[in-house]
Amino acid sequence: ETGVTQTPRHLVMGMTNKKSLKCEQHLGHNAMYWYKQSAKKPLELMFVYNFKEQTENNSVPSRFSPECPNSSHLFLHLHTLQPEDSALYLCASSQVTYDTGELFFGEGSRLTVL
């Protein structure tokens, strides 16, 4: 049990589908993140939410749309994805203070785009 729960764990979708990934953290943290993990590449930071406000968007294509309704929940809405978007999508949370910044990760959602 990591304190960060992601669903679904596996998702297969066509390029014209619309789906969503869900993340919930039970740690009382005030920041949540989406990362993309592809083989042999650094984890790519996609989105950061501090206190429910988006503070980082690293040039992510608009076919990925995040939503953070409260500090415990984070969604990633997916629409008209490309096969190269197939990857493991990781959600993380942290308590944002100057001296910490440690991330707590979920187990990931494995996405395959056909």
Partner 1 sequence: AQSVSQHNHHVILSEAASLELGCNYSYGGTVNLFWYVQYPGQHLQLLLKYFSGDPLVKGIKGFEAEFIKSKFSFNLRKPSVQWSDTAEYFCAVNAGGNNDMRFGAGTRLTVKP
Which residues contribute to the site for partner 1 (CB under 8 A)?
Answer: 2, 4, 31, 33, 35, 40-43, 45, 48, 50, 55-56, 90, 92, 94, 96, 98-103, 105-108
- Shortest reach from residue 79's CB to partner 1, in Å: 26
- Shortest reach from residue 88's CB to partner 1, in Å: 10
Of all residues in the chain, what percent are helix, strand and coil, respectively (each to 5)?
5, 55, 40
- Shortest reach from residue 80's CB to partner 1, in Å: 27
Q: Residue-wise over 51-75: b if at least 16 C-beta within 10 A, else e?
A: eeeeeeeeebeeebebebeebbebb
Of 31 and 78, CB closest to partner 1: 31
Task: Indicate the Cα dihedral angle 69, 58, 62, 104, nearest 10°.
Answer: -40
- Shortest reach from residue 81's CB to partner 1, in Å: 23
Of 6 and 85, CB closest to partner 1: 6
Can you say how many angstroms the Cα of residue 8 is from the centroid of all Cα atoms in its chain? 12
